[in-house]
Amino acid sequence: MTKELSEMPVIYIISDALGETAEYVSRAAAAQFSGVRTKIRKIPYVQDEIHIDEIIEEAVKEQAIIVYTLVVKRLRTYLEEKAQELGLDTVDILGPLINILADKTNLAPSYTPNVTHLLDEQYFRKVEAIEFAVKYDDGKDPRGVLLADVVLIGVSRTSKTPLSMYLAHKGIKAANIPLVPEVSPPQELFQISGQKVVGLTLKPDLLNQIRTERLRTLGLGASADYANYQRIVEELEYARGIMRKVSCPVIDATGKAIEETASRILEILYKGDRND
């Protein structure tokens, strides 16, 4: 017989960090019971036995299930003993896996709470770089040119935005500037070293195909100036002139995957290799 909705147990999530992992697992499990709304109470940054006592006192009143990600072994043991005394069910998310890894590696775990965020500075740099790439995409704010680790320049549809986002996931702050004959590039582009700028280009035939398909997707005719072959040749020549003026390396991305072009950009940034 299906239980009434009111009978669905409350889940207490206890963690010495944010408790995101335990919450995700709990919600994934609860989602298997269609139509049931589960009450989840998350208690992060639990650091001592006194706090555990307070939580368990509340959990007993609701006969809650306790799901936890406590790294410190002392606190895990204390929580398990207290919960068992009072007849509460517990689920240890991290403990069993830590124990298995210790057995397999013959190494002693550090038992350091929140260690992933304490050690992973690259995580925060990546988030910052992604926000940067969004803010300074497509020349929206030329001030980003002065703040970027790398500035990508090129005509429309040379993959400047996808490359900026890919590099952002590597922790690289990338701004990008579209080059259009009718619009002068921002002065900031000429105020930075050419070593921080990378020009992107494609063969005219490929760019014509990409733009034609783009127009088709938008429901526009392929005869539009945007996909005109001669116009594309002129744009590419104009862009080449800007790249020469900036004195930056140029990558022909024809036939290259985003990952391959991004790898080439990283080589240029870190090795100073300017030849395509």
Q: Return the CATH number at 99.
A: 3.40.50.2300
* 184 annotated to bind ligand: no
Residue 168 lies in a domain: yes
Residue 114 lies in a domain: yes
Q: Do 135 and 88 reside in the same domain of the chain? A: no
Residue where a domain stops, chosen among 70, 103, 119: 119
Residue where a domain stops, chosen among 88, 119, 150: 119
Q: At what angle do helices 49-62 and 73-85 cross, to 10 degrees?
A: 30
* 155 annotated to bind ligand: yes
**pLDDT on residue 1:** 40
pLDDT in tens, the chain (276 residues): 444 444 568 999 999 887 888 988 998 898 888 767 788 899 988 989 999 999 999 999 999 999 999 988 899 999 999 999 999 999 999 999 999 999 999 998 888 776 555 555 677 888 899 999 999 999 999 999 999 999 999 999 999 999 999 999 888 999 999 999 999 999 999 999 999 999 999 999 999 999 999 888 888 876 678 999 999 999 999 999 999 999 999 999 999 999 999 999 999 998 766 656
Q: Do 145 and 250 reside in the same domain of the chain? A: yes
* 15 annotated to bind ligand: no
Rounded CA separation 50/58 (Å): 13
How many structural domains are present in the chain?
2
**pLDDT on residue 212:** 92
Q: Which pTM was predicted?
A: 0.60
Q: Quick one: which of 46, 167, 1, 26 has its CA closest to 90?
A: 26
* 158 annotated to bind ligand: yes
Q: Do 68 and 176 reside in the same domain of the chain? A: no
* 217 annotated to bind ligand: no
Q: Do 264 and 167 reside in the same domain of the chain? A: yes
Q: Do 76 and 126 reside in the same domain of the chain? A: no
**pLDDT on residue 27:** 87
Residue 265 lies in a domain: yes
Q: Do 66 and 145 reside in the same domain of the chain? A: no
- Expressed as residue numbers, the domain containing 238 is 121-271
Residue 25 lies in a domain: yes
* 156 annotated to bind ligand: yes
* 240 annotated to bind ligand: no
Q: Do 23 and 97 reside in the same domain of the chain? A: yes
Cβ within 8 Å of residue 276, ≥6 positions away? 249, 250, 251, 252, 264
Q: Do 158 and 215 reside in the same domain of the chain? A: yes
Which residue, chain included where needed, has tokens 């005509």? 155
Residue 223 lies in a domain: yes
Residue where a domain stops, chosen among 78, 103, 119: 119
Q: Do 45 and 85 reside in the same domain of the chain? A: yes
Kindly report the CATH number assigned to the domain that includes residue 143: 3.40.50
* 159 annotated to bind ligand: yes
Cβ within 8 Å of residue 127, ≥6 positions away? none
Residue 157 lies in a domain: yes
Q: Do 179 and 138 reside in the same domain of the chain? A: yes
Residue 276 lies in a domain: no
Q: Do 86 and 96 reside in the same domain of the chain? A: yes
Q: Do 113 and 203 reside in the same domain of the chain? A: no
